[in-house]
A and B are shown apart, each in its own frame.
Chain A
Amino acid sequence: MKITFPHMGYLNIPLRSFFNNLGQEVIEPPAINQHTINLGTRYAPEFACLPLKINIGNFIQAAELGANTIVMAGGIGPCRFGYYAQVQREILADLGINMDMIVLEPPQGGWKLLLRGLRRLTGKVSLLAIFEAGAIAWAKLKALDQLAQRVYSIRAQEISRGSTNRIWKQILTHIDGANDLKAVQKAADCGYALLQGIKTQPHKEMLKVGLVGEIYTVLEPAVNLGLEEVLGSMGVEVVRSIYLSEWVITNLVLHTFYLRDDREHYQLAAPYLDHFVGGHGIESISNTVKYARAGMDGVIHVAPLTCMPEIVAKTILPGVSLGENIPVLTLMLDEHSAEAGILTRLEAFCELLWQRKRMPKVRRQQNKTEMELSRGKLSVAGISGH
Chain B
Amino acid sequence: MLVKIGIPRALLYYHYFPLWECFWGHLGLEVITSPPTDKSVLDRGVIAAAPETCLPVKVYYGHVLALAKAVDYLFVPRIISAQKGTYICPKFMGLPNMIKHSGYDLPPLISPTLDTNRGKKSWQRAHIQAAQGLGYNKKKALTAWRYANYRLRLYREKLQQKRTPLEFLNHDHSLPRSFTSPTILLLGHPYNLFDEFTNMNLIRQLYQYGYQIITPEMLSPVIIEREATQLPKHLFWSLGRTILGTAFHCLKNSPVVGVIHLTSFGCGPDSLVGELLERRVNKLSNLPFLLLTLDEHTGEGGLITRLEAFLDMIEWRRSS
Of B50, B233, B271, B279, which one neighbours A311 at CB under 8 angstroms? B50
* Residues 276-297 (chain B) with a chain A CB within 8 angstroms: 276, 279
A50 to chain B, nearest CB (A): 11
Residues of B within 8 A of A46 (CB): 271
A378 touches B (CB below 8 Å): yes
- A31 at interface by CB-CB < 8 Å: no
- Whether A77 contacts B237 in the complex (CB less than 8 A), given A46-B271, A278-B93, comes out as yes
A273 at interface, CB cutoff 8 A: yes
B182 within 8 A of A: no
Query: Is A272 touching B97 in the complex (CB atoms < 8 A)?
Result: yes
For the complex, what is the distance from the CA of A273 to the CA of B93, rounded to whole Å? 10
Is B236 in contact with A47, judged by CB distance below 8 angstroms? no
- On whether the beta carbons of A45 and B90 are closer than 8 Å, the reply is no
State in angstroms the CA–CA spacing of A274 and B96 once bound together.
10
Q: Which residues of A contact B93 (CB under 8 A)?
A: 78, 275-278, 312
User: Is A256 located at the chain interface by the 8 A CB criterion?
Assistant: no
Instruction: Choose one: A86, A90, A315; the contact of B53 (CB below 8 Å).
Output: A315
Contacts of A52 in B (CB 8 A): 272
Question: CA separation between A308 and B52, bound complex, in Å?
Answer: 9
Asked if residues B103 and A318 are in contact (CB atoms below 8 Å), the reply is yes
Q: Size band of the B side of the interface?
A: 35 or more
Q: Which of A201-220 contact B (CB under 8 A)?
A: none
Q: Is B275 an interface residue (CB 8 A)?
A: yes
From the candidates B90, B233, B274, B275, name the one contacting A79 in the complex (CB within 8 A): B90
In the complex, A80 Cα to B97 Cα: how many Å? 21
Contact across chains for B49 and A375 when beta carbons are under 8 A apart:
no
Q: Does B221 contact A (CB under 8 A)?
A: no
B236 touches A48 (CB 8 A): no
| Contact (Cβ within 8 A) A90 B279 | yes
Given A90-B279, A318-B103, A375-B103, does the pair A83, B272 have CB atoms closer than 8 Å?
yes
A89 to B232, CA, bound (A): 11
B90 touches A87 (CB 8 A): no
Which residues of A are found within 8 Å of B91, using beta-carbon distances? 277, 308, 311-312
Per-residue contact bits, chain A 319-352, to B (CB 8 Å; 1 contact, 0 not): 1000000000000100000000000000000000
Contacts of A90 in B (CB 8 A): 275-276, 279
What are 29 A-to-B residue pairs whose CB atoms are below 8 Å? Answer: A45-B272, A45-B275, A46-B271, A78-B89, A78-B237, A80-B269, A83-B272, A86-B232, A87-B276, A274-B97, A275-B97, A276-B93, A277-B94, A278-B87, A306-B268, A308-B91, A308-B269, A311-B50, A311-B52, A312-B94, A312-B97, A314-B50, A316-B97, A318-B101, A377-B103, A385-B50, A385-B51, A386-B51, A386-B52
Bound complex: CA A314 to CA B237 (Å): 22
- Asked if B126 CB lies within 8 Å of chain A CBs, one says no
Cβ of B155 within 8 Å of any chain A Cβ, yes or no, is no
Judge if B11 is at the interface, Cβ distance under 8 Å: no
Q: How many residues of A contact B (CB 8 A)?
A: 51
CB distance from A59 to the nearest CB of B (A): 16
Task: List residues of chain A with CB under 8 Å of any chain B CB.
Answer: 45-49, 52, 74, 76-80, 82-87, 89-91, 94, 272-279, 281, 305-309, 311-316, 318-319, 332, 375-378, 385-386
**Shortest beta-carbon distance from B297 to chain A in Å:** 15
Cβ–Cβ contact A278 & B90, under 8 A: yes
Q: How many Å from the CB of B7 to the closest CB on chain A?
A: 21
Q: Please, which residue of chain A has its CB at the minimum distance from the CB of B86?
A: A77
In Å, the complex CA distance between A305 and B271 comes to: 13
User: Which B residue's beta carbon lies closest to that of A282?
Assistant: B94
A102 CB → nearest B CB, Å: 13
Residues of A within 8 A of B47 (CB): 377
4 other A-B residue contacts (CB within 8 Å) besides A47-B265, A279-B90 = A272-B101, A275-B78, A278-B90, A313-B94
Query: Do A86 and B90 contact each other (CB < 8 Å), given the known contacts A48-B271, A77-B237?
Result: no
Residue of A nearest to B270 (CB): A47
For the complex of A and B, 6 pairs with smallest distance between CB atoms: A77-B236, A312-B94, A319-B101, A47-B271, A78-B87, A308-B90
A90 to B279, CA, bound (A): 8
Instruction: Give the CA-CA distance A276 to B52 in the complex, in Å.
Output: 20
A277 partner residues in chain B, CB cutoff 8 A = 90-91, 93-94
In the assembled complex, B210 has its CB within 8 A of some CB on chain A: no
Question: Of residues B48, B49, B50, which shows the largest number of chain A Cβ atoms within 10 Å of its Cβ?
Answer: B50
Complex Cα–Cα for A276 and B78 (A): 11
In the bound assembly, the distance between CA atoms of A386 and B52 in angstroms comes to 9
B28 an interface residue at 8 Å Cβ cutoff?
Answer: no
